[in-house]
Amino acid sequence: MIRHTKSTEVPSSLGRGGQANEGNCTAYDAAAADYRSGARSFDIRKGIYGTDVVKRQLKADQHDKCAFCEAIFDANVAGDVEHYRPKGAVDTDAGRIYPGYYWLGYTWENLCYACPDCNSYRKRNWFPLEDEANRARDHHADLTLEQPLLLDAYGPRDPREHITFRGEAATGLTTAGEATIDILALGRTALARDRLQHLRRLTLVHESVSVFGDDPRPEAIAYLERARAELAAAILPGAKYSAATADHLAALDAGQNFLPASAS
């Protein structure tokens, strides 16, 4: 997981979202008890927050990667526009809280692009805080008092300071890092296997540079230049699994390889 920079230009379809957010706030004030009990719920319309124009901009801001796992997955399955703070309800270890962050349902800053596995199967409505007493329960509350345990790819905290990788395995450096790994299952089997295959391929490239880096033959020099360029590109924000790759290549440079041995 890495930190992304969100475009300052709000997608056009969200222009209708400001009025819709205001309408939801008015509705809440008129029947707060019903919304808190779950008897009433808000209709946060995907036709406003999940339009193609919103999705395209988020994909561009995230280099076509999932905000959470850094996979590039669109060739196989469509992604989702995800709300960082849940829009409908909030799940906690103590139970479900109603309503969700309805006043952020159409807010650009609360949206990201995520793969279905991270979004629909893992994150869902989970949004734990360091102190539940500071949770903003409605639009009158102060969001700045919250200390989310789930990291935000667009947030003020750099995920790289909270999550590191030892080979293909994600490791939390902080409570927030550990919670994010747990909520999103960043060590799930299929994801870890794909990271492992990716890192093993780059390990071969790294080894070729290390072993043949001084080869004076012109054809070797040309190949090694391409190999070094590939390694440099693999840690750029637009590369899949760039965080895991950066940590793995740094370990290789230090003479360490944390990848499990290949099956014989």
* pLDDT tens digits in sequence order for the chain, 264 residues long: 999 999 999 999 999 999 999 999 999 999 999 999 999 999 999 999 999 999 999 999 999 999 999 999 877 788 889 999 999 999 999 999 999 999 999 999 999 999 999 999 999 999 999 999 999 999 999 999 999 999 999 999 999 999 999 999 999 999 999 999 999 999 999 999 999 999 999 999 999 998 887 888 888 888 899 999 999 999 999 999 999 999 999 999 999 999 998 754
The answer to whether the predicted template modeling score (pTM) of the entire model surpasses 0.85 is: yes
Distance CA(257)–CA(255), nearest Å, equals 7
pLDDT, one tens digit per residue, over 236-257 is: 999 999 999 999 999 999 999 9
Supply 164's token pair.
């590191």
Closest Cα partner for 16 from 105, 80, 88, 81? 105
pLDDT score recorded for residue 58 = 97
- pLDDT, position 264: 40
Number of Cβ within a 10 Å radius of residue 38: 13
In three-state form (DSSP H/G/I as H, E/B as E, the rest C), the secondary structure along the chain is CCCCCCCCCCCHHHHHHHHHHHHHHHHHHHCHHHHHHCCCCCCCCHHHHCCHHHHHHHHHHCCCCCCCCCCCCCCCCCCEEEECCCCCCEEECCEEECCCCHHHCCCHHHEEEECHHHHHHHHCCECCECCHHHCCCCCCCCHHHCCECCCCCCCCCCHHHCEEEECCEEEECCHHHHHHHHHHCCCCHHHHHHHHHHHHHHHHHHHHHHHHCCCCCHHHHHHHHHHHHHHHHCCCCCCCCHHHHHHHHHHHHCCCCCCCCCCC
Q: How far apart are CA 89 and CA 41, in angstroms?
A: 9
C-alpha of 127 from chain center: 14
Residue-wise pLDDT tens digits, 76-121: 788 889 999 999 999 999 999 999 999 999 999 999 999 999 999 9
Residue with tokens 């360490």: 256
- Measured in whole angstroms, how far is the alpha carbon of residue 96 from the centre of its chain? 23
Can you read off the two tokens belonging to residue 106?
Answer: 């159409």
